[in-house]
Amino acid sequence: MRILGIETSCDETGIAIYDSEAGLIGHSLFSQIDLHTAYGGVVPELASRDHVRRILPLIQETLDKSGSTLSDLDAIAYTAGPGLMGALLVGTAVGRSLAYSLSIPAVGVHHMEAHLLAPMLEESVPDYPFLALLVSGGHTLLVKVVDFGVYEMLGESVDDAAGEAFDKTAKLLGLPYPGGPHLSALAEKGDSKRFRFPRPMTDRPGLDFSFSGLKTYALNTVTSESNDEQTRADIARAFVDAVVDTFVIKCRRAIEQTGIKQLVVAGGVSANTQLREGLQGLMRQVSGEVFFPKLEFCTDNGAMIAYAGYLRLQAGQKEQMQFQAKPRWSITEL
């Protein structure tokens, strides 16, 4: 079975083809970073228009890369939500109409479920049940994955998502959009001992997160200190240390609470070097195992959509003729 995956939930047009025998046989990505940089963040209307421009040439490019034609496709998977409404509608409309014209099934995929499954494209994969820490620009979720499609929410962010906190803190340190990777690089040059930021919501029971206070903490530190390069690096370091420590504390708590020692970490922020090191250290300590997607599949991509769509079709998911893009959609509703 050959399935085309289409991702257009935010600022990346991602297309891929997953083959049930051969695995991932082609993928392409167009990132809109240059388009949004001037505005310091994603402009939804510009994002939608750019998806319209890119999507068909990118589908053709991916078919060519994989040595396939449209008639080789057995199904189409597209991101149905959560995400930006206009952006989602582009992938939804193209995916559904292309599938209709080819008389093949189309399946709407949950973006966060796709992130969660991205590590399954690697050689070593976890067994169910496992824990999943999903850290993206829009969501921060700690989930117990009982089985494929069976998700119990253990904790989530009560305010900013982890990626959002990275991006906002990066912005106030004068770094370009999207700030996550830039902030991480700057933190590498920083001194861990100079500033200590709080570890939000770790002093009380529970597995929820809060990151908006860290951004304010960073802002207050920026305002009260001299604005030299080393100070900015030290602030970046304090921010990253606080985020990583918070995730380590909460993941340790989730492991103790559930007795599950396999942890999947996915979503854009799972590309973060310091976070990867922190969680690898934790899983060594508890004699557990941690699984990440490969770097290019941490951030948004079509491969995870094609793969999640494949699993959904295997599980018998069928779509009605009417369809809906869902900007807000909890993973626990699946």
DSSP, res 83:
S
Residue 269 partner contact from ligand KG4, Zn ion, none using kind-dependent CB cut-offs of 5 to 8 Å:
ligand KG4
CB 112 within 8 A of CB 301: no
Residue type at 310 in one-letter notation: Y
Nearer to Zn ion, 26 or 268 (CB): 268
Residues in touch with Zn ion (CB under 5 A):
136, 300
Stretch that binds ligand KG4, among 48-56, 97-105, 266-274, 281-289 (CB under 6 A): 266-274
The minimum distance between CB 42 and ligand KG4, in angstroms, equals 9
Nearest to 113 by CA among 324, 253, 280, 305: 305
Q: Which is nearer to ligand KG4, 43 or 104 (CB)?
A: 43
138 binds ligand KG4 (CB under 6 A): yes
Phi and psi torsions of 263, nearest 5°: -125, 125
Residue with tokens 């018998």: 316
Return the residue matching tokens 């903490």: 217
The length of the chain, given as a count of residues: 334
Binding span for ligand KG4 by CB under 6 A among 90-98, 148-156, 227-235, 268-276: 268-276
Residue 163 engages ligand KG4 in binding (rule: CB under 6 A): yes
Question: Which residue shows structure tokens 């893009």?
Answer: 325
For residues 305 and 313, which CB has a smaller minimum distance to Zn ion in the complex?
A: 305
Stretch that binds ligand KG4, among 38-46, 202-210, 264-272, 319-327 (CB under 6 A): 264-272
Assign residue 206 a region: left if phi > 0, alpha if psi is -120 to 50, beta otherwise?
A: left
190 touches, from Zn ion, ligand KG4, none (C-beta below 5 to 8 Å by class): none
Helix residue ranges per DSSP H, the chain: 33-37, 44-65, 85-102, 111-117, 162-172, 179-188, 212-224, 229-258, 273-285, 302-314
Nearer to ligand KG4, 170 or 201 (CB): 170
Q: Which is nearer to ligand KG4, 94 or 298 (CB)?
A: 298
Is residue 167 involved in binding ligand KG4 (CB under 6 A)?
yes
Nearest to 330 by CA among 81, 129, 89, 78: 81
Q: Looking at 3, 4, 6, 10, which residue binds ligand KG4 (CB under 6 A)?
A: 10
The residues that touch ligand KG4, with contacts defined as CB under 6 A, are: 10, 136-138, 163, 166-167, 178-181, 184, 267-269, 271-272, 299-300
